[in-house]
Amino acid sequence: MKVAVGQLNISYGDVDRNFKRGENLIKQARDEGCKLILLPEVWTTGFPFRQLKKLSTTTPQILEEIKKLSKGIMICGTYITDKPNSDKVFNTFYAILNGEIVFSYTKIMLFGLTGEDKYFSRGDLSQKNTFKALSTTFGVSICYELRFPELFRKASFDGALIHLNPAIWPKIRLDHWLALSKARAIENQFFFLTSNGVGLSDKWEIGGHSTIYDPWGEVKSQIKNEEGLAINDIALETVEDTREKLSSLKDSMDSFKELYF
C-alpha cells in the first residue's frame, strides 16, 4: 500500500491559505498513486486559541471539500470542531475516503503547558482509536498522545497494523518526537506514520520530521525541515513477519490485555 505523510507550514488562523496548501499535497499524493495521506494536526487553522470557536464554523465546509478530493485516496488529519452550548471546541480526527467520513476520533490527552485544556474539551477515554479501511486496521493518536503508550497498546491489541499520529510538535522537543515515535513503532510492531507542521506557528517553531516507520522502528521515508510529502510503498506482510520473529507484542497481550483492557 502506497502511503504519504504531508508536512505543512501552517499559517495561524488562515484557513484559505492552509487549505490550498493541503489540497496541493493531497493532489500530489493522489497523482503518485498513494491510497492514504496523513496531514498534520488542525492543519487548516493551527492553534490561535482565542479564535478557535469562530474558526470551528469553517470546518463543515472544509470537510465537504475534502470529501470531493477523496476519491481513491483516504485523507486523514484533525480539525477544530464545535462543542455546542459551550465556549470550548474539540480537536477531531477524521478519515475520509470516497466522499465519506469512515472514522472520527476526538483527542483525549490535552497539552496543558500551552493551554489546550482551557480551550478544548477532551474526548471520551472509552472511545475506539482503531478503524478498518483499505483492507486493514488503523490506529489513531494525536500529537501529545504520543507520550501515552497505553493508547498505542490499546490500538495494537485491537488489531492495528498501521498507526497514524498527526501533530504540531515543537522543534524544542524534537528529540522526544523522534525517540518516542521510534519506540511506539518498535514496541507495538506496526507501521507508524507521523505528520507534523514545520516553520513558525505564532511564537512556536515547529519541528517537522514527518516520518514513516516500519515495525522494526526503521525510517522508511522522512521529510525534515520543508513542506512536502514523505512517501513509501509499505508491505503489510512485514507486520506479521516482525511479530513472528520477535514475540514481544504477543507476550504482552497474553500477560496484560485482560489486566488493562
Q: Quick check: is 107 catalytic?
A: yes
Angle between helix 59-69 and helix 15-31 axes, rounded to 10 deg: 20
Has 41 been annotated as catalytic?
yes
Helices and strands in the chain: count of H runs, count of E runs: 8, 14
Question: Which amino acid belongs to residue 245?
Answer: K
C-alpha 181/C-alpha 192 separation (Å) is 8
Asked if 197 contacts 10 with a C-beta cutoff of 8 angstroms, the reply is: yes
List the catalytic residue out of 34, 35, 107, 145.
107
Length, in residues, of the chain: 261
C-alpha cell at 12: 495561524
Sign for the pseudo-dihedral over CA of 43, 47, 51, 54? positive
Of the listed 35, 76, 143, 154, which one is catalytic? 143
Q: Catalytic residues, which ones? A: 41, 107, 143
